[in-house]
Amino acid sequence: MKIAIFGLTISSSWGNGHATLWRGLCKALAKLGHEFIFFERDVPYYATSRDWPEPPPSVGESKLLLYSDWSTIASRVRRELSDCDTAIVSSYCFDAQAATDAILDARHPLAVFYDLDTPVTLDALRSGKQVSYIPWRGLGDFDLVLSYTGGAALEALRSDLCAHRVRALYGHVDPEVYQPVPCVDRYRAKLSWLGTYSADRQIMLEELFVAPARLRPEDKFLIGGAQYPEHFPWSDNVYFVYHVPPQEHAAFFSSSRLTLNVTREPMARMGWCPSGRLFEAAACAAVVLSDEWCGLEDFYTPGEQILVARSAADTLDALDMSDGQLSAIGRAARERTLDEHTSLHRAKQLIHYLEEIRSPSYLRSPAPDYGSSYDAARS
């Protein structure tokens, strides 16, 4: 199967969680014998922070295609789509509208939309904001809509955006990249947090990370990520690494006694939205201390494979656990990850969804009514 992907980025993990997910998924698809071509707009802040190995892993004709402007790539897109089996447009793709039009005009490939940010998308639309990557008619023209978020998000995509075939495709991890490694001194800490700054998780980050750090001034706490503002409440024992490239993520997770997982507020509120970092840390046998959200127990068992914190006191209690207790939790998390949450698991799931739609026995749903909720919400 040949798959065209129009996404935010696969070449740079700077300031986004999309790149490592696409790398793992595309690598797994290639292992299964499928080809892909990834279209990525070449923007300065990703161009200066590219961390995907060069040349990128490839099988057959699989490739990354960078372009400066849609007009320079439009004819190439048409040629590629002419022999593609599936074409995927993702959330935050710079040229999502143009890509959607090209896919629908081509007619041959299955048209798929993959929302890697479903709660944020729905939150914005319900607040009356314009979402550039959502077509004006909603998602009803797509043969399949994939959501990084399960639970209530799936029905919301149907009711709010006219999607008529919706499936969850959760986050995942490439276990060849993320695995336990020896400690590295620069990443050694009692508690670490790896993530881009986001205002909508700042309250929980201050409660579960900043407050405990101030209460344990003798311990080292570590943050890795981008876009942190000057007014972030730093303390003397909180150390900062501006950008941790993916090839060093395993060392980052393996070098701290505990690592934190904090979910963005819209995603925590909707539930069933595990971050990619959660799977990556667990694959490294790191002991993950997570905020609480609905559906977490469907991915990892609290108390056995993951620790849950609701307050600074919970973080302090976790820091006081014995090395033996923590090691057992980390090992159990890695085993669960390898059994259920690898990129290969998700790639097989994706192919199953696509083959299901192409099956002659699959009953296609009638075209959605575009005069329904989405237009009403926009008016």
pLDDT tens for 127-148 read 999 999 999 999 999 999 999 9
Structure tokens at 271: 């539930």
Indicate which CATH number applies to the domain containing 254: 3.40.50.2000
Report whether pLDDT(374) > 50: no
In a domain? residue 147 = yes
* pTM for the full predicted model: 0.90
Which pLDDT score is estimated for 48? Answer: 92
Greater confidence, 230 or 53? Answer: 230
- Looking at the DSSP bridge assignments, the partners of residue 67 are 41
227 and 132 in a common domain = no
321 and 200 in a common domain = yes
Q: What is the DSSP string of 311-325?
A: SHHHHHHHHTS-HHH
* Mean per-residue pLDDT, 55-59: 48
In a domain? residue 351 = yes
The amino acid that residue 347 corresponds to is A
Confidence of residue 368 (pLDDT cuts 50, 70, 90): very low
In a domain? residue 179 = no
Which pLDDT score is estimated for 61? Answer: 56
Confidence of residue 107 (pLDDT cuts 50, 70, 90): confident
Which pLDDT score is estimated for 275? Answer: 92
Report whether pLDDT(370) > 60: no
Structure tokens at 162: 């006219």
Which pLDDT score is estimated for 52? Answer: 87
Greater confidence, 59 or 185? Answer: 185
Q: What is the DSSP string of 17-40?
A: SHHHHHHHHHHHHHHTT-EEEEEE
In a domain? residue 178 = no
> What is the number of domains present in the chain?
2
| Burial group, residue 307, by CB count within 10 angstroms (0-12, 13-18, 19+) | buried
Which pLDDT score is estimated for 54? Answer: 57
In a domain? residue 180 = no
Q: What is the DSSP string of 320-362?
A: TS-HHHHHHHHHHHHHHHHHH-BHHHHHHHHHHHHHHHHSTTP
* Mean per-residue pLDDT, 311-324: 98
308 and 166 in a common domain = no
- The whole domain housing 107 covers 2-172+344-378
In a domain? residue 286 = yes
From the list 348, 363, 360, 356, the residue with the least C-alpha distance to 29 is: 348
Structure tokens at 204: 């929980």
Report whether pLDDT(378) > 50: no
218 and 109 in a common domain = no
In a domain? residue 177 = no
190 and 142 in a common domain = no
* Mean per-residue pLDDT, 110-115: 98
